[in-house]
Amino acid sequence: MSLVSFDNGTFPLADVQDNPARYVKRLERAKVSPGYAVCLCASHRTPLQLVIRRYGSLLHLAGWPEDGHRHKRDSCPFYKDPDAPRAARGGDSKAAIMATPTGLNVKLDAALTLRETATGSRGSTGQPTGRTSRRSASLLAFLQTLWSESALNQWTGTATARHWGQCNAMLLAEVGTALINGSDAQNVLHIMRRYEEADRAAINAEFDVFIARLAISPNGATHRGLVIGEINEVVPTQFGHALSLRQSARKYYASATLIDRASRTFAHAWKAIGVRTARVVAILLVERTAKGHMKLIDLAAMLCSSAFLPCDSMYEVGMANRLVAERRDFLKPVRLSPDDDMLPDFVLRDTDVPTHIEVYGMNGLASYEARKDRKRALRLSRRIPAVEWNADCEPLEAVSLPASRNRSLLT
């Protein structure tokens, strides 16, 4: 169990992450003096300082910049693998998502502010054009990057479960100082807190403050917001559909056209809504109507395993759930660069040499088979061992995985 120290006390990190409201006053004092908290996962001559970061009405702990590699790899959520793929750092000034010394800088292809034009229509504001214009990222690309930057696509094998409270804390630790379309993240992005009945009033009040920003300003501009949470259900209504998240009973109202497009664009995720062994995380682009309802303008849905590891199919969900249950140390690569010519489905990190796992579910399709052959040739040339699962004709339990070198530590 990881422990953290601040305000002359020592506390379980899990409790600080799960119940941030309990620690607001202590963290406020520590933020003033000495200005940081300390992670006790490992002993170093220089203490493992943690950033105390405000997001909304609460304070959260985040890893010290460029210090993640010093945390204990097998037990501390602040550990960051220096070799793991990350968002663009320097060099590409036109990248849609850039990691800067002060946090992520994101340009989305979705407008967060609209203004009335002379003709009465609404257009986006403040988006640069011309040769110096940056590329823009889709909602899904942004969500996937957040997951990767927060190390939520990694598993160290020391636990067999991860709940939304941990996801919330890890996301906030990464996004706290981000800029999204030029605005501070906390003004335009709300990451749902894990629902606890005892904290219902505080959780709702915090969300209401965020929603209050989504209004038409005196200059006629309409402000939109982003919400991240786990989809609970999508049900038909008289005028379209209503979507709800597991962390709140609030409804988000969407047109039938939007829901139909989402169900096709994010087909694997959409079919998994309500499936017990999977999770479906969504990022919602919302507006507040004149009557105070939440209107869903756009969304992206990401399929995840039961421990919130991103997956591309239900077959991958099954493999990820097995790896977690067997306490394996592994990575689920997320494509952050078009130059990645390999991108295995999973990478086992607890074998003597990192081992790729490929989950094949579309065998027989010509283009799919050609891609399999290219990846096999690349692995052979680079001497990368691999496990292949033909999921459409072989049961998961029949797949033989290489032994973990950590097995003796877990028994």
Identify whether the C-beta of residue 387 lies closer than 8 Å to the C-beta of residue 359: no
Strongest mean pLDDT among 63-77, 318-332, 333-347? 318-332
- Determine the average pLDDT of the residues in 11-40: 94
**Predicted confidence (pLDDT) at residue 129 exceeds the cutoff of 80:** no
Sign of CA dihedral 193, 197, 199, 204: positive
> How high is the pLDDT of residue 66?
86
Could you please report the per-residue DSSP string of 76-105? -TT---TTS--SB-SS-TT-SEEEETTEEE
Q: What pTM was estimated for this model as a whole?
A: 0.91
Q: Cα(205)–Cα(210) distance, rounded to whole angstroms?
A: 9
- Mapping DSSP to helix (H, G, I), strand (E, B) and coil, where does residue 303 land? strand
Closest CA to 36 of 50, 55, 54, 53: 50
- Determine the average pLDDT of the residues in 183-187: 94
Q: Cα(341)–Cα(337) distance, rounded to whole angstroms?
A: 9
> How high is the pLDDT of residue 103?
87
Tell me the pLDDT of the chain averaged across its residues: 90
Domain residue ranges in the chain: 3-70, 97-305, 341-410
**Predicted confidence (pLDDT) at residue 220 exceeds the cutoff of 80:** no
Q: Rounded to 5 degrees, what angle do the CA atoms 142, 145, 146 make? A: 85
Count Cβ atoms within 10 A of the Cβ of residue 323 and give its class: 0-12 exposed, 13-18 middle, 19 or more buried. buried
Tokens of 146: 């957040």
- Determine the average pLDDT of the residues in 51-68: 91
Q: Cα(137)–Cα(296) distance, rounded to whole angstroms?
A: 19
Residue appearing with tokens 């062994």: 277
- Determine the average pLDDT of the residues in 188-213: 88
Q: Cα(209)–Cα(187) distance, rounded to whole angstroms?
A: 10
> How high is the pLDDT of residue 388?
96
> How high is the pLDDT of residue 122?
60
Identify whether the C-beta of residue 138 lies closer than 8 Å to the C-beta of residue 208: no
- Determine the average pLDDT of the residues in 349-376: 91
> How high is the pLDDT of residue 362?
83
**Predicted confidence (pLDDT) at residue 125 exceeds the cutoff of 70:** no
Instruction: Tell me the percentage of the chain whose pLDDT exceeds 90.
Output: 68
Angle between helices 139-149 and 164-175 (to 10 degrees): 100
227, 228, 230, 234 alpha-carbon torsion, rounded to 10°: 30
Half-sphere exposure of 223 (CA within 13 A, CB side): 15
**Predicted confidence (pLDDT) at residue 272 exceeds the cutoff of 60:** yes
Q: Which DSSP symbol is given to 186?
A: H
> How high is the pLDDT of residue 411?
44
* CA 161 to chain CA mean position, Å: 16
Q: Which DSSP symbol is given to 130?
A: S
> How high is the pLDDT of residue 117?
57
Neighbouring C-beta atoms of residue 343, cutoff 10 Å: 14
> How high is the pLDDT of residue 132?
58
Q: Which DSSP symbol is given to 348?
A: E
Q: Cα(92)–Cα(104) distance, rounded to whole angstroms?
A: 14
Question: Residues 150-188, buried b or exposed e (16+ Cβ, 10 A)?
Answer: bbbbbbbbeeeebebbbbbbbbbbbbbbbbbbebebbeb
> How high is the pLDDT of residue 306?
98
190, 195, 200, 204 alpha-carbon torsion, rounded to 10°: 20
Q: Cα(235)–Cα(249) distance, rounded to whole angstroms?
A: 13
Sign of CA dihedral 333, 334, 338, 343: positive
Count Cβ atoms within 10 A of the Cβ of residue 251 and give its class: 0-12 exposed, 13-18 middle, 19 or more buried. middle
More confident of the two residues 132 and 152: 152
Q: Rounded to 5 degrees, what angle do the CA atoms 1, 231, 104 make? A: 65
